C-alpha cells in the first residue's frame, strides 16, 4: 500500500540547516519530495499542516510555496490552495527536443576540447555506473549518469549552453524515475551509455554528437511512455 502524501510529508525533517532561513528549509524539503516523485502531481499541499510541522508561522511556509510556484513545481488555485503541479506532456516533449539538440552540440564540443583528465573523469563515472548497476543501486546509477554527461558537456567550454542544459534537466527532473523504471535490468542503462563513451575515447566528434542526441531523444520517448502508463494506472494525472 502506497503511503499517503500527508504521511510522506510527516516523514520529512522540515528544519532549517545552518545558513538557511525557515523559508529556504521548507522549500528545500518540499522540492526534494516533488522532484523525487514522492509527492506526485496533483498532491494537495496544506499550508496549515506544513506550518504546524515546521513549528513556525504560516507566512514563511507560504513564501516557500511561492518559491516553488516560481519554479513551476507548485500551482495555486483559488478556493483550493496549493497543489503539486502536473507534468505536461507538451512541456516534456519540448524540453527533450531542445535538450537533444543542445546535448548533441555539447558532446561534440566536449570531444573537441577533450583532455586526458576529463577523459579519465568520464571513464570513472561510467565505471561507477557499472558498479551501481551490478549492486542494483538505482539512485547511485542516476547520480553517476549525470556526472558522466555533465563532465563531457562542461569540457565543451560553452558555459551559457551548459547552464541551459542544466535548467532543462531540472525542469524535467520529476520524470527521471520513469526513465530508470524502463531500464530494468539496469544493465540496459550501461548499454545506452557505452557507445557514447567509445565515441569519446575515439575522439570522434560526429559520433559523440549523434549518439548523445539520440540518447536524449530515446530518454524523452521513454518518459512520455511512462507518463502515459502512469496516467492510465493511477488515474488522470496529466493536464
Q: Which domains does the chain have, with CATH numbers?
A: 5-84 (1.10.10.10), 89-234 (1.20.120.530)
Give the CA angle between residues 34, 35, 41 to the nearest 5°: 45
Mean pLDDT value of segment 42-71: 82
pLDDT higher than threshold 50 for residue 31: yes
Distance CA(231)–CA(239), nearest Å, equals: 10
Of the ranges 36-40, 106-110, 211-215, which one carries the lowest mean pLDDT score? 36-40
Q: What is the pLDDT of residue 19?
A: 43
Q: What is the pLDDT of residue 183?
A: 53
| 217/229 Cα distance (integer angstroms) | 19
On the question of pLDDT at 55 being above 80, the answer is no
Please return the burial class of 146, using the count of CB atoms within 10 Å of its CB with bins 0-12, 13-18 and 19+: middle
What are the grid coordinates assigned to 154, written together?
A: 562542461
Identify the pLDDT of residue 231.
60
pLDDT above 50: residue 238 = no
Measured CA to CA, the distance from residue 23 to residue 220 in angstroms comes to: 33
Average pLDDT over residues 2-8: 48
Q: Are 127 and 170 in contact (CB under 8 A)?
A: no
pTM: 0.71
Helices (H), 44-186: 47-54, 58-70, 89-112, 116-135, 138-154, 159-171, 176-182
Give the rounded percent of residues in the chain with a pLDDT score beyond 70: 81
Instruction: Give the pLDDT band (50/70/90) at residue 90.
Output: confident
Instruction: Indicate if the pLDDT at residue 17 is higher than 50.
Output: no
pLDDT level of residue 179 (50, 70, 90 thresholds): low
- CA contacts within 13 A on the Cβ side of 53: 21
Cell 518540499 belongs to residue: 30
- 8-state DSSP, 38: S
22-35 and 58-70 helices cross at what angle (nearest 10)? 50
Cβ partners under 8 Å of residue 78, min gap 6 = none
- 186 vs 108: CA distance, rounded Å: 27
Grid cell at residue 22: 525557515
Q: Can you tell me whether residue 226 is helix, strand or coil?
A: helix
Which whole number is the average pLDDT over 133-147? 90
Question: What is the average per-residue pLDDT within 146-166?
Answer: 95
Amino acid at each position: 500500500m502506497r503511503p499517503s502524501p500527508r504521511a510522506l510529508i510527516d516523514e520529512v525533517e522540515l528544519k532549517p540547516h545552518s545558513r538557511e532561513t525557515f523559508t529556504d528549509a521548507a522549500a528545500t524539503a518540499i522540492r526534494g519530495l516533488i522532484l523525487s516523485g514522492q509527492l506526485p502531481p496533483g498532491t494537495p499541499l496544506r499550508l496549515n499542516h506544513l506550518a504546524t510541522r515546521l513549528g513556525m508561522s504560516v507566512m514563511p511556509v507560504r513564501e516557500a510555496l511561492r518559491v516553488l510556484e516560481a519554479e513551476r513545481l507548485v500551482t495555486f488555485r483559488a478556493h483550493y490552495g496549493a497543489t503539486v503541479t502536473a507534468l505536461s506532456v507538451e512541456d516534456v516533449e519540448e524540453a527533450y527536443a531542445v535538450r537533444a539538440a543542445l546535448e548533441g552540440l555539447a558532446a561534440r564540443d566536449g570531444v573537441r576540447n577533450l583532455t586526458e583528465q576529463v577523459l579519465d573523469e568520464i571513464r570513472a563515472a561510467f565505471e561507477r555506473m557499472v558498479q551501481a548497476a551490478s549492486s542494483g543501486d538505482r539512485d547511485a546509477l542516476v547520480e553517476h549518469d549525470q556526472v558522466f554527461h555533465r563532465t563531457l558537456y562542461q569540457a565543451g567550454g560553452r558555459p551559457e549552453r551548459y547552464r541551459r542544459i542544466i535548467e532543462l534537466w531540472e525542469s524535467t527532473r520529476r520524470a527521471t524515475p520513469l526513465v530508470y523504471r524502463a531500464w530494468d535490468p539496469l544493465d540496459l542503462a550501461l548499454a545506452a551509455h557505452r557507445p557514447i563513451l567509445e565515441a569519446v575515447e575515439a575522439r570522434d566528434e560526429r559520433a559523440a554528437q549523434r549518439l548523445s542526441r539520440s540518447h536524449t531523444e530515446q530518454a524523452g520517448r521513454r518518459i512520455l511512455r511512462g507518463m502515459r502508463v502512469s496516467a492510465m494506472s493511477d488515474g488522470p494525472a496529466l493536464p
